[in-house]
Amino acid sequence: MAGGPGRLEETAIDALTRVHLTRLDKVLYPAARVTKGDVLTYYIRVAPLLLPFLQDRPLTMHRFPDGFGGEGFFEKDAPAGTPEYVDIFTHFSKTAGRDVHFIVCNNLDTLIWIANLASLEIHIALSTAGSFESPDFLLFDIDPEPPLRFDDVIDVAHIVREQLEGAGLQPFVKTSGKKGVHIVVPLISGYRFSEAREFAHRIGREIARSTPHVVSEFPRSRDPGTIFIDYLQNAHGKTMVAPY
């Protein structure tokens, strides 16, 4: 296929991977004319940065076979035909009442395979497969309700950072994939999800008391002109969009 600026040629990608590639010229982002080949090229180039965040973590794919803007779907279970080089983590889900076979992306072939399935978002668990019941990430999801904007989210993110650093923690920030930001704190092993959730809720309540437009309780999360510090994501089975 004709390569765009910076795009790896199909033969070059084939030389990198065991994945059977399909429809690389399919447009996945119509507004920007970004093809599946472009997405694969991006995943390959960013792999040294992305793979450490995926290592040993159960994944949920957000797939868009008809491209972004089409009807996407979330997929937790490894689909039929999953190749042998893809690691699988099996866990019994009480909610579903059955085993769920999660994909774990521990190598470049798996990352390319995920991209070939038009997974335009990769969502990671807040715990690893080896310690699935114990989170190693604490997550604050901060989203604005109109007329507040992203600049207002940034202001609140700074306040959250100050609170966390005051508690002796080192927070990191990334975009959330929608309209806000995620603030993520690495945790040492041994905590329960309920403990992480209560700590995040306490931080939110403290900020809400001193910041008029911040709310910390779910019933007010959609109030116009507010920013909800969402602590509820700190629960078993919840995920966040992976960096990069």
d(CA 60, CA 9): 28
| Same domain assignment for residues 60 and 107 | yes
Phi, psi of 10 (to 5 degrees): -55, -40
Q: What is the token pair recorded at 71?
A: 């009807």
132 part of a folded domain: no
What is the domain count for the chain? 2
Choose the final residue of a domain: 125, 160, 195.
Answer: 125
| Same domain assignment for residues 14 and 119 | yes
d(CA 148, CA 226): 7
CATH of the domain at 205: 3.30.70.3300
Are 221 and 228 in contact by the 8 Å Cβ rule? The answer is yes
Q: What is the mean pLDDT for each group of 10 consecutive residues in the chain (244 residues)?
A: 52 73 93 94 95 97 92 94 95 89 96 96 96 96 94 96 95 89 94 97 96 94 95 93 93
130 part of a folded domain: no
d(CA 163, CA 235): 21
Range of the domain at 148: 137-241
For the entire predicted model, the pTM comes to 0.88
Per-residue model confidence (pLDDT) at position 3: 47
15 part of a folded domain: yes
Per-residue model confidence (pLDDT) at position 69: 83
| Same domain assignment for residues 153 and 119 | no
The two counts, helices (H) then strands (E), for the chain are 5, 13
| Same domain assignment for residues 15 and 114 | yes
Choose the final residue of a domain: 125, 146, 165.
Answer: 125
d(CA 67, CA 199): 39
| Same domain assignment for residues 152 and 83 | no
| Same domain assignment for residues 178 and 216 | yes
Choose the final residue of a domain: 66, 93, 125.
Answer: 125
